[in-house]
Amino acid sequence: MIRQVPIAALTASLCLAAPHGALAAEDRYYSVSMDGKAIGYDHMIVSRAASGVTVTDDTLIKISALGSPLDIATQSISKYGANGSAPASFVETVTRPGGVVVYKVTFGKGNAHWTLDNAGTKTATDSALKPGTMLVAGTDSWEAILRKTTPAIRRLTVPTFDPQIGKTGELTLTRTPSVKGDELWSGTFETVMGPQPLTLRYRRAGGGVVTSMEFPAQKISMRLAGKEALKNFGSLDYTSHLFTAVDTPLPNPDALTVLKLRVSAKVKIEKITPASLQHGSRQAFRGTVKDGKIDGVFTIHPGRYDGKQAPTFPYASSLTSGQLKWLKPAAFIESDDPEIKALARKLTAPAKTGWDAASAIGRWVHDNIRYEITGSGARQCLTKSAGDCGPHSWLSIALCRAAGIPARIAGGALYTPLAGGSYAQHYWTEAWMGPRDGWVPFDSTTGEVGTFSPSHLTLWSLGSLDSLSVKVLDFAPKNPKSQSAAAAIPRRANGLSVGYKEQYDFIIDGKNQGSQTAALISVQNGGQHWTYTLDLKVPQGEKFIEVTQNGSFDIAETGEPIALASSSSGGIATKSEFTFAPDKIAASLTIGGVATPRTIPLASPVFLFLSNVLTSWSLATRSVTLPTDKPTTLPTFLPEALQTIPMTFTPKSAETVTVGDAVIPCHVYTIDPIGCSVSIADTDGRLLKLTDDRQKLVVLLK
């Protein structure tokens, strides 16, 4: 069975719990498709004994977003009584980015014992069951439910137990006209991401077989197939559903005072209305909404909250039933976990108001939980000290609820400089600040607590994107103009010859984690042809992301770029080609399978600043003489952002840097807006060292 759980800001929020096969078949295969493309399989085996029926299965789903694999593998064992219908036990192991989750259920007389092992953190609960409660876990469980029907029945309601959320519920299935001898049944079941519609195709002959399952909100289908399903599939890049490039890049989004966007989007799960898209003075919407399709204009202003009128903390017992429901623990929001409760008490102990408490939680999550795509819930996020925007939000919500503050998830899309400016799916947190101030958003992923930039496009309280298109209509303040005065800065030839090579070592938290090398291969037509490679291991908790990048660039001896071709993998996969002319740049950038061709106008010459390739930075600083007594602004082109951004070098102090056996006098400059500092050689302008304290990073010329 296919589930929907949040995997990432930038991902499709998918998780698959294995379809477990039918009791009428000894060996069965299903093909799983999304958007019409086969992305995996399910293989199950049914064994029978006098004591009952056992269904085992193995599922593999392959999906990626922005070049990062999000594959999910599931193994499960379902056991039924002698009649093959009443569930006896269920065990499921789900392996996905971020760790392993194991669900176990043992059914007794009138009760179910449920345990969850989430990356080593365990939870157990007992639930009372109504007579006739059925398991809702996979194909075999759906078949067991449908076997309770007869050809004359058109509607069936049964009590259920869902092992992935550990809760009882009620399921209603309605029969619609048959198709080619198969009955069609439709219904809605609850998931961590809200109600999900599904359609079952059921063949009553042969003991009762589900021949297909459709999940229209996710555009996912599972169909009965042959053994070829085990190999006839590929990986689906889901980036286009979650990520859209805009036509106009934005300056620093945090500094915008107003932003107007034309948006066309399709939202899944939650029912959207024009009224639900209005958020006080922060966001206004004019347009239409029909069947989850949004088409209209958003006007967005910054959100600021000082908490001066927030309720006294701890909250009094005057919360309404509408707020009380946002205090309860839930799947992925384990606010009753002892460790989460203890941390919530510690963080909120000094708080005088609800906002004191909520903001302390938001800042702590931002400062202590590193960004990593895990798709985990609150407990695992805390245990691993890692998570993407979904886990950041779940943990913030769980801590708020444990502290007695109603909190819920919200989301939509967030602006990012990737691909020259784009929007990607994103989640954040809303905390209840009393009837006067209502629900106040904060983003523990970006660190916006008390502020909320116009780059946040709010689309839902609980949902996900099916498609998104954004056009920038207007914004203020406007992009700063290119620093044409920089063109008058005296240039100088770098004086390098064919065969020159250099290496920069990347030291992260005191450990050498890789290097960037470059070589001057040839000189022709007034340009130097360079090749480079980057091999870097970026720590992600107990693991590493291996980032590789290679390519070439042509550059004039005086620093003006001529051409660039590069590709990278690990983290976000990119491929780019750029050709530079005096008045424009012809750009082709592909990120995670999404191509962004663009022509970028130039008002003045630029320097090339290729991310992580310090040689390109050094060739720029070699081409000018940076003053040691005043700031200097250079117009630089950032290929990953498809933007020209003024970089201001502000001198700080003099120092010496040792390179090999040489002790080289240099000056230290801070670079705004990057926020790092660099040491530039006094004699030839070489970049000798880069320091970024926030990332515990030092890059040294070897």
What is the C-alpha end-to-end distance of the chain, expressed in Å? Answer: 54
* pLDDT score at 275: 94
Same structural domain, 61 and 186: yes
Q: For residues 668 and 219, which has the higher predicted lDDT (pLDDT)?
A: 668
* pLDDT score at 20: 32
Same structural domain, 215 and 107: yes
* Of 250-254, 342-346, 351-355, 602-606, minimum mean pLDDT range: 250-254
Residues facing residue 428 across a β-bridge? 410
Model pLDDT for residues 300-317, shown as the tens digit of each residue: 999 999 999 999 999 977
The number of residues making up the chain comes to: 702
Please name the amino acid found at residue 204: R
Same structural domain, 528 and 394: no
What is the rounded distance in angstroms from the CA atom of residue 369 to the CA atom of residue 230? 38
Does residue 138 register a pLDDT over 50? yes
Same structural domain, 525 and 582: yes
Same structural domain, 64 and 41: yes
* Of 175-179, 301-305, 351-355, 393-397, minimum mean pLDDT range: 175-179
Closest CA to 200 of 188, 212, 215, 217: 212
* CA torsion angle 413 417 421 423 (round to 10): -10
* pLDDT score at 388: 85
* Of 24-28, 517-521, 662-666, minimum mean pLDDT range: 24-28
Same structural domain, 546 and 566: yes
* pLDDT score at 23: 38
* Of 80-89, 328-337, 434-443, 465-474, minimum mean pLDDT range: 80-89
List all residues 6 or more positions away from 418 whose beta carbon is below 8 Å from its beta carbon.
243, 424, 572, 591, 640, 641
Q: For residues 488 and 57, which has the higher predicted lDDT (pLDDT)?
A: 57
Does residue 484 register a pLDDT over 50? no
Residues facing residue 536 across a β-bridge? 514, 547
List all residues 6 or more positions away from 129 whose beta carbon is below 8 Å from its beta carbon.
107, 110, 111, 112, 159, 161, 168
Over the chain, what is the mean pLDDT? 86
Model pLDDT for residues 685-698, shown as the tens digit of each residue: 999 999 988 778 89
Instruction: Please state, for a pLDDT cut of 70, what percent of the chain lies above it.
Output: 89
CB environment 188-206: b (16+ within 10 A), e (fewer): ebbbbbbebebbbbbbbee
691 CB neighbour count, 10 Å cutoff:
17
- Which residue range is the domain that position 86 belongs to? 2-236
What is the rounded distance in angstroms from the CA atom of residue 305 to the CA atom of residue 95? 40
Domain boundary among 476, 497, 517: 476
List all residues 6 or more positions away from 646 whose beta carbon is below 8 Å from its beta carbon.
480, 482, 483, 486, 633, 634, 635, 636
Average pLDDT over residues 22-31: 70
Domain boundary among 170, 201, 236: 236
pLDDT level of residue 11 (50, 70, 90 thresholds) = very low
The residue assigned the tokens 């042969």 is 206
The dihedrals phi and psi of 475, each to the nearest 5 degrees, come to: -165, 165
* pLDDT score at 486: 46
Same structural domain, 312 and 450: yes
CATH number at residue 418: 3.10.620.30
Same structural domain, 472 and 489: no
- The CA angle 431-435-436, to the nearest 5 degrees, is 100
Does residue 607 register a pLDDT over 90? yes
Same structural domain, 445 and 489: no
* pLDDT score at 490: 82
Domain boundary among 217, 236, 255: 236
* pLDDT score at 1: 27
Residue pair 489/632 in contact (Cβ under 8 Å)? The answer is yes
577: buried, middle or exposed (CB in 10 Å: 19+, 13-18, 0-12)?
middle
Average pLDDT over residues 44-49: 85
* pLDDT score at 67: 60
Please name the amino acid found at residue 454: P
Long-range contacts of 669-675 (CB under 8 A, 24+ apart): 669/626, 671/647, 672/647, 672/648, 673/252, 673/645, 673/647, 674/647
Secondary structure class of 373 (helix, strand, coil): coil
Average pLDDT over residues 576-594: 85
Does residue 10 register a pLDDT over 50? no
Same structural domain, 225 and 259: no
Work out how many domains the chain is built from and give that number. Answer: 3
Model pLDDT for residues 69-114, shown as the tens digit of each residue: 778 899 999 998 876 678 999 999 988 766 788 999 999 989 999 9
The DSSP-derived string for 80-146 is E-TTS-SEEEEEEEEEETTEEEEEEEEE-SSEEEEEEEETTEEEEEEEE--TT-EE-SSHHHHHHHH
Same structural domain, 449 and 577: no
Token pair, residue 388, equals: 């993407």
The residue assigned the tokens 């040491």 is 679
* pLDDT score at 240: 66
* pLDDT score at 309: 93
Same structural domain, 507 and 553: yes
Model pLDDT for residues 217-257, shown as the tens digit of each residue: 778 899 999 999 999 999 887 776 667 878 787 877 888 99
Model pLDDT for residues 370-399, shown as the tens digit of each residue: 877 676 789 888 988 888 899 999 999 999
Residue pair 272/457 in contact (Cβ under 8 Å)? The answer is no
* pLDDT score at 402: 96
